[in-house]
Structure 1
Amino acid sequence: MENVFRIKELRYVPRWLVFFIDVSIVSFSILVSNLFLENLGVAINFNEYQSQKIFLTIAVNILFMLVFKTYAGIIRYSTFFDFFKIVWSSSCTMIVMLAIDFTSKLIFGIFLDLYHELFLFFFISVFLMFFFRMMVKRVFKIFMAPKEASSKIRIVVVGIEGESVSLGNAIIHNPTHPYQLKGFVNTESTSKKAILLGCKIYNKREFLKINNLSKQFDAVLLKGCMLNFEMEEWTNFALSKGLKVLKAPVINNTHEGSIIGDIRPIQIEDLLERTPIIIEKENVGNYHFDKSVLVTGGAGSIGSEIVRQVALLNASIIVVVDQAESPLHELKLELLEKFPNQRFKFILADISNVYRLEKLFEEYDFSIVYHAAAYKHVPLIEDNPHEAIFVNVAGTRNLALLSKKYIVNRFVMVSTDKAVNPTNVMGASKRTAELFVQSLQNSYGNQTKFITTRFGNVLGSNGSVIPHFRKQIAKGGPVTITHPDIIRYFMTIPEACELVLQAGTMGEGGEIYVFDMGKPIKILDLAKKMIKLSGYTPDVDIKIDFIGLRPGEKLYEELLTNHSTTVPTHHEKIMISKDPLMEFDDIEFLCKQIIRSTIKKDGFQVVKLLKVIVPEFISNNSEFEILDKIPEHEV
């Protein structure tokens, strides 16, 4: 039978055939309704014109079939939308024929009495056309489903609430996508016979006890609105059972048609994200509205996100400065497309060039400066300490002094937790920059509010550990970790930048704001979870190698120095760190000294001076450790 009809080779029922069958059903329905009325003994007026009435009804129905295109859908994928088109077509036919009956009686005094025939015809024709479509769907499913199902990912959806049902419906009604709905898991007790969308509802407790889950399912689908701890719990369980973990978009933010296309494998970033931060959007918006804003390091991970968020606040102009040509060009193309009404200026410049920067301050009269430009890679900076001074110290000094000179309202510096009790040149250079920026607050004639923000690692930033691990896993390993006990704090890029903007508006000048980074994460655990999420087994499919701490690297990072305390603010995620200060004249003298040493490219002299400026700077796993053994009076 399969070979005769070649159903497996048939992609869809041709439209002309659907149209012909629908017309046949309409004709059959009229004849059946008339026959039924005759058998009931219902009198039919003008029986001699019965054939004309039948042809007129068919003609009107064909007209509305063409109007509503009832034949145009692919029958095997019919939904209730197609059913409603049939209902509209038949309803309009009935209304027009009743109008003809009423007009005939009103003008000619001839009452055709079509009421009984039309109502009966309506129900019979709608039922038969819908039944025809359901039968075609069933036939295709019988012959095509085994072939299609073998290549589809068998999904169990977590939850039976409205969003979960919407996900299930989207999977069912998008058969061209590679998913097959196999069930739902309910966290509450459920009858063993409970069915939803034709699939079984599993009780969570019973579901967790099923042996060989991977034989029945391929993946667990999590809702986009699921809380972080729930997502982590289900991910850990699914991975332990050999199931993939997929994440759906938040349906409120997604068009129904794109739900399936937006389903993706869960990423480590999804599990590390915390409760969304609430910022004072109105207050932040007021500070930026119609203002001229400068963002240095604007093509970097943090800088570019600050630019994107400021672009939403209707600044008069955003000047983006970076020395990296290609990233700046790519950012320009992105921003001009995404924010066509925002005025931008993209400047290719090095912040260590004070003459280049001064031209910008003269021209644009900045109200706010976000200083995110910095060299940040610890091992590279340890090998090239003079470059850290040029950018992290001299560059910051240039921008801060120009901000004071041109009476910028707010100068917001992006710092790092590596500036706290630094063990490397990068951290010490950033701590020096912090000290210089703070010292300007109480310097003679200053009217600018100098504010520093300090936080840890951001997820997905350029050169961070997560993209690095992802590349290593894609290559088949090994994944390299410096030490089995190393831990780090993590924060998402948007979250960090929102807090930077919030802190910038809160500051009265001279503060170092530290952010609540949540709980620290062990990098080894992070690597293992990323390997599992990629469908591999750690140390079996993907090897993990420990390569030793890099020069200047710590096992853990800190947000506060040994001599600092914190003061809470009205924002629960932001605190003020009370760190030791330096007078402007003192730090200015030392900065000039270290810049002179940098010009001579005397690395050891540069680091010696850093240790004078930042006494808590103790080198770790570095060639500069020898300097920590020299008596203080010799330094």
Structure 2
Amino acid sequence: MLIWNLLFLFTPKYGDLSRYQKRIILSCLDFLVSTFSIFLAFTILYNIGHTLELFALFLPLITGYIVFKVVIFQLFGLYRPVLKYTDLSFLSTISKSVLFTSVIGVFLINLFADRFISESVIIIDGLISIVAVTALRLTIRSVIKSLTILESDSTEKQKLVIYGAGSAGYQLSQSLEQNPEYRLLAFVDDNPEMQGRVLQDVPIYSPHYLESLYKEESFQTIIFAIPNLTIPRRKEIVEHLKALPVQFKTIPTFGELLSNQASLSQIRNINITELLGREEITPYQSLLRVNITDKAVLVTGAGGSIGSEICRQIAQLQPKCLVLFELNELALYTIDMELREQNLNVPIYPYLGNITDKGHFESILKLHRIETIYHAAAYKHVPLVEMNPSIGVYNNVAGTLITARSAIDCGVKNFVLISTDKAVRPTNVMGASKRVAELLIQALAAQNNIGTIFAIVRFGNVLNSSGSVIPRFRKQISEGKAITLTHKDVTRYFISIPEAVSLVIQAGAMAKGGEIFLLDMGNPVRIYDLAVKMIELNGLIPEKDIPINIVGLRPGEKLYEELLIDKNNSNNTQHPQIFYGNEPMLSWEMLETNLENLLYEAKEKNSEEVVKLLKILVPEFNHPLKEVLVS
């Protein structure tokens, strides 16, 4: 240890040397090793005295041969790899270089010294050179590693465990080896044949040993190094290990690796969405392309959580053109730039505008001869619409009516309304406004002699959408604040944004006219349990490190969301996760008068009348008038 400390104190740091200086040093060391190698080859064939005589007699020839060997090392690229990170891949380069110089060496002996020196000297020298030059590099790498560790001993290292001792785990351990901030304690693997063995001088344990290992030497992080780990298995592992106060991280999935979105060394926190999601069914490509490929497509609300993902997926399906329609300037700029940077060879046209501006909207439909519309623009945040009922209703209802009528007038072939589970027996203004939007689409679709096929797609909460609980919880945890929850027993259905959008596009392709398609949302999630899992994934203890405060249900908020799919009131489609419901509807004649009155009162900001008319149009709407505010 004393020797290492002296080396550390009096040797210039390896990282401080320039690349040129490192090459010069390594070349000089190769020269010395090559000199030792040829000398040893002579002494093996001849005695030491005769070896010295031959060296004195043929010193210029031997020196030239050694210099030539180092030059060949340079020409063959032996000095290109970064020695600190290299593995045994340089052995091939060394072997080729030595073979080449040995051939030249035999030629030189036959030319100048065939009566004095045997060709066997060159053969023995070649074998010794391969071993010695390889050993030199491995020794230097080991010394650099030891000095790096010594240099970083003053800093506290993060101890971690890799879950998965396969090829991904091995590659990850090699990456971590170069990072002085981490110390790999162990691998764990489900395969009994791997348990008890050693990888990279690190032991491999059973997952059941982790709690004992933590008691022996506490670690901070478990990294999942299994790219094809299924969601159910990941849930099972995290649930089994939740008692450990550690962070859970993961390497990218196979999909991310294959699409070059990430590399194996990019470690990230496990997202709660990866535990809530489910194994997605492969999309039906034929359905995805029906209304998009080689067609002019427009998306309203193109900058929102759902709208932007619709745009991403549409852009991958080779539309004739993609029109982005959005009220928010920053949101429109962001999605426009994102799509353009992908160089997908799809014409993209961004438009700022309000869906209630009929003239502006129709001019865009006519200019681009739009064939398919995905109507995602809406005010969707329950508390905000509850506080601004007139504005919310006018935007959601008038906006849908104007875009739908414009679609009919401009000859648009397909129109898909994005709706919500909150439209089912609504208890808030937002949900009721979306149900009215559904009713007017149903009524328009039932009219004769229209060329537009209308469809409605209804689904629940999407993971990580703007304003949803997950980003809010994540922010509160990162800031060390208490998580605020409205009720301990609140449950919600969740679906990932990409899966929801894929199902929306496929559902729209199956429309005949006026159907309400329902997406299978899986099982409901208790939001309190969700908060607890998010805290545990960050290596913290619920209620101790991060409190959970129950603040009470907000106006219009449900304790339980309605089940979207009632088997007695829904029908199967060709897709196992898409159904269509048998929902009550009103004819346009029955709907028109109340709808006109609703929009008039909303425009006049008469919120009490707006709620009364919503109750007439949607009899199942359960909402106390006293909670209506001003707008």
TM over 0.5: yes
Q: Identity percentage over the alignment?
A: 33
Partners of 2:324 and 2:10 lie apart in 1 by 58
Partners of 2:88 and 2:625 lie apart in 1 by 68
- What amino acid does structure 1 have at the position aligned with 2:182? Y
Which of 318, 321, 326 does residue 322 from structure 1 map onto?
Answer: 326
Equivalence for 2:354: 350
The alignment status of 1:292 with 2:296, answered yes or no, reads yes
Contact 1:190 1:201 in 2 (8 A): no
Partners of 1:198 and 1:78 lie apart in 2 by 18
Deviates more, 1:331-340 or 1:314-323: 331-340
The alignment status of 1:34 with 2:37, answered yes or no, reads no
Partners of 1:239 and 1:166 lie apart in 2 by 26
Which of 541, 550, 553 does residue 554 from structure 2 map onto?
Answer: 550
How far apart are residue 562 of structure 1 and its match? 8.0
- What amino acid does structure 1 have at the position aligned with 2:560? Y
Structure 1's 177 and 467: CA in aligned 2 closer, same or farther, altered over 3 A? farther
Equivalence for 1:229: 232
Equivalence for 1:79: 87
Which of 5, 8, 32 does residue 6 from structure 1 map onto?
Answer: 8
TM-score, normalised relative to structure 2: 0.90
Deviates more, 1:318-327 or 1:582-591: 582-591
Contact 2:519 2:564 in 1 (8 A): no
How far apart are residue 87 of structure 1 and its match? 2.9
Equivalence for 1:520: 524
How far apart are residue 340 of structure 1 and its match? 5.4
Query: What do residues 295-329 of structure 1 show as CA deviations (whole Å, max 9, x unaligned)?
Result: 00001000011001111111111111111112112
Partners of 2:447 and 2:596 lie apart in 1 by 17
How far apart are residue 343 of structure 1 and its match? 0.8
Equivalence for 2:140: 136
Deviates more, 1:596-605 or 1:581-590: 581-590
Equivalence for 1:464: 468
- What amino acid does structure 1 have at the position aligned with 2:63? F
Equivalence for 1:249: 252
Partners of 1:234 and 1:8 lie apart in 2 by 49
What secondary structure is seen at the aligned counterpart in 1 of 2:370? coil
What secondary structure is seen at the aligned counterpart in 1 of 2:592? helix
Which of 593, 596, 601 does residue 600 from structure 2 map onto?
Answer: 596
Structure 1's 178 and 569: CA in aligned 2 closer, same or farther, altered over 3 A? farther
What is the correspondence of 1:182-331 to structure 2 with a 5 Å cutoff?
A: 182-190=185-193, 193-210=196-213, 212=215, 215-222=217-224, 223-250=226-253, 253-254=256-257, 259=263, 261-331=265-335
Contact 1:154 1:218 in 2 (8 A): yes
The alignment status of 1:157 with 2:165, answered yes or no, reads no
Contact 1:486 1:555 in 2 (8 A): yes
Equivalence for 2:541: 537
What secondary structure is seen at the aligned counterpart in 2 of 1:254? helix
- What amino acid does structure 1 have at the position aligned with 2:455? I
Corresponding residue pairs, total: 616
Contact 2:31 2:67 in 1 (8 A): no
Partners of 2:417 and 2:262 lie apart in 1 by 40
- What amino acid does structure 1 have at the position aligned with 2:228? C
The alignment status of 1:166 with 2:171, answered yes or no, reads yes
Partners of 1:397 and 1:279 lie apart in 2 by 31
Query: What do residues 572-602 of structure 1 show as CA deviations (whole Å, max 9, x unaligned)?
Result: 1111111112112222332212111112211
How far apart are residue 358 of structure 1 and its match? 1.3
How far apart are residue 205 of structure 1 and its match? 3.0
How far apart are residue 527 of structure 1 and its match? 1.2
Partners of 2:489 and 2:466 lie apart in 1 by 23
- Structure 1: runs of 5+ lacking an equivalent: 626-635
Deviates more, 1:248-257 or 1:287-296: 248-257
The alignment status of 1:145 with 2:149, answered yes or no, reads yes
Partners of 2:124 and 2:448 lie apart in 1 by 94
Query: What do residues 525-545 of structure 1 show as CA deviations (whole Å, max 9, x unaligned)?
Result: 111222222333222222211
TM-score, normalised relative to structure 1: 0.89
What secondary structure is seen at the aligned counterpart in 1 of 2:373? strand
The alignment status of 1:89 with 2:93, answered yes or no, reads no
Partners of 1:112 and 1:308 lie apart in 2 by 77
Aligned Cα root-mean-square deviation (Å): 3.1
Contact 2:383 2:555 in 1 (8 A): yes
What is the correspondence of 1:111-126 to structure 2 with a 5 Å cutoff?
A: 115-126=119-130
TM superposition outliers: structure 1 runs of 4+ over 6 Å: 46-49, 108-114, 255-258, 561-564
Deviates more, 1:219-228 or 1:601-610: 219-228
- Structure 2: runs of 5+ lacking an equivalent: none
Partners of 2:449 and 2:254 lie apart in 1 by 54
Equivalence for 2:617: 613
The alignment status of 1:576 with 2:580, answered yes or no, reads yes
Contact 1:438 1:581 in 2 (8 A): yes
- What amino acid does structure 2 have at the position aligned with 1:368? T
Partners of 2:234 and 2:566 lie apart in 1 by 37
How far apart are residue 373 of structure 1 and its match? 0.3
What secondary structure is seen at the aligned counterpart in 2 of 1:513? strand
Contact 1:421 1:561 in 2 (8 A): no
